[in-house]
Amino acid sequence: MSALQAYVRATAPIGRDTERIGPFLATFAKDSAHPMENYAIPDDGAKPSPAEIALLISAYRQRDLLPRLEFFTDAAPDVEAALVAAEFTLERRVPVMTCGTEDLVDCGAPEHIQLREPSSDDEFRRLRSVQNVAFGESPDVSDADVERNRNYLTVLAEHGETIVGGGIALDIVSGATEIVGIAVAAEHRGQGIAAAITAHLTRLAHERGARTAFLTPGDVGIGTVYRRAGYRVAGECVHLSLS
C-alpha cells in the first residue's frame, strides 16, 4: 500500500495549496471548502505527537476548514489511534481495490449503451452533472469543474444522445492511476453499465501506461460491481475528521 499512498501524496497537491506539518502533508483546495477536497495525508510509518496533531488542526481551523485526513492504514498503522486520542472521529472505513494489467476482466456494455471519451466541453459538463446527481449533489457544474475534468482520461456512457453515466482515471504516476467518479443515472442502474464503464476506463488507463489502477468503493455493495471488472481488495482507507 505504500506505493499507492505515494501516488496519492504525489497527486493530491495538484491544483491545491500544500503545507508540511510534522509528518503530514496538508492540502487545501484553492476554490472550495468542501471537506473531500481539503485533507491531510500522513507520511509512511508516521507516529505523530500530540503537538504535531495540534499544529495540523490549527492549520485547517485558521482557514475555516474542517480538520480532516484520508490515508491507507497499512502505510501508516499508528496514525488512526493517535488521531482518535486527539478526538478525531472516523467518517468511514472503505476497502482499497486494485486491478493490474493481468487482472482486468472485460465487461461489455448493454447493446443500447455506447462507451466513449467526451469530445466537447458540453459533454464534459453533462457528464459531470450526471455524476453529481448520482452522488447526491447539485446538478450544477462550473466552468472550473469542466476545465479540471478535461485534464483527465474520461469515459462516458450514452443511450442515444443522453449521457447516462461515466468515470474518470486520474493522472498516471509511477505506473499507477486512481479510478474515480464511476456513476450511473438512477433510472439506468442494474444493467451492468457501471461494471462496463469501469472495465473500459481501466483498459484505456492500462493502454496509456498504468500498470495498476485502484479505487475506493463507497460501500461493500458497489465493490461487487468492481469485482466483475477484475478488481480485488488490497487494503483499506480511512477518513477521519475533527468537528
Q: Provide the residue range defining the domain that includes 163.
A: 100-234
Beta-strand pair 153-159/89-100: unpaired
Taking the complete model, does pTM exceed 0.85, yes or no?
yes
Placement of cell 487545501 in the chain:
28
Q: Is 10 a member of any domain?
A: yes
Same domain, 83 and 109: no
The total number of structural domains that make up the chain: 2
- Find the CATH number of the domain harbouring 138: 3.40.630.30
Q: 63-102, pLDDT tens digit by residue?
A: 999 999 999 999 999 999 999 999 999 999 999 999 999 9
Tell me, yes or no, whether 112 and 227 share the same domain: yes
Question: Can you give the pLDDT at residue 15?
Answer: 86
Query: Per-residue pLDDT tens for 46-70?
Result: 999 999 999 999 999 999 999 999 9
Distance CA 208, CA 199 (A): 14
Same-domain check for residues 52 and 129:
no
pLDDT in tens, 118-131: 999 999 999 999 99
Instruction: Give the span between the Cα atoms of 51 and 23, in whole angstroms.
Output: 11
Same domain for 59 and 140, yes or no, is no
**Which of 51, 66, 87 is the endpoint of a domain?**
87
List of the chain residues with pLDDT < 50? none
By the 8 A CB rule, do 147 and 234 touch? Answer: no
Q: Of the residues 66, 87, 108, which one is the last residue of a structural domain?
A: 87
In the prediction, which pLDDT does 32 show? Answer: 87
Same domain, 60 and 105: no
Residues 110, 226: one domain?
yes
In the block, cell 501508516 appears at 76
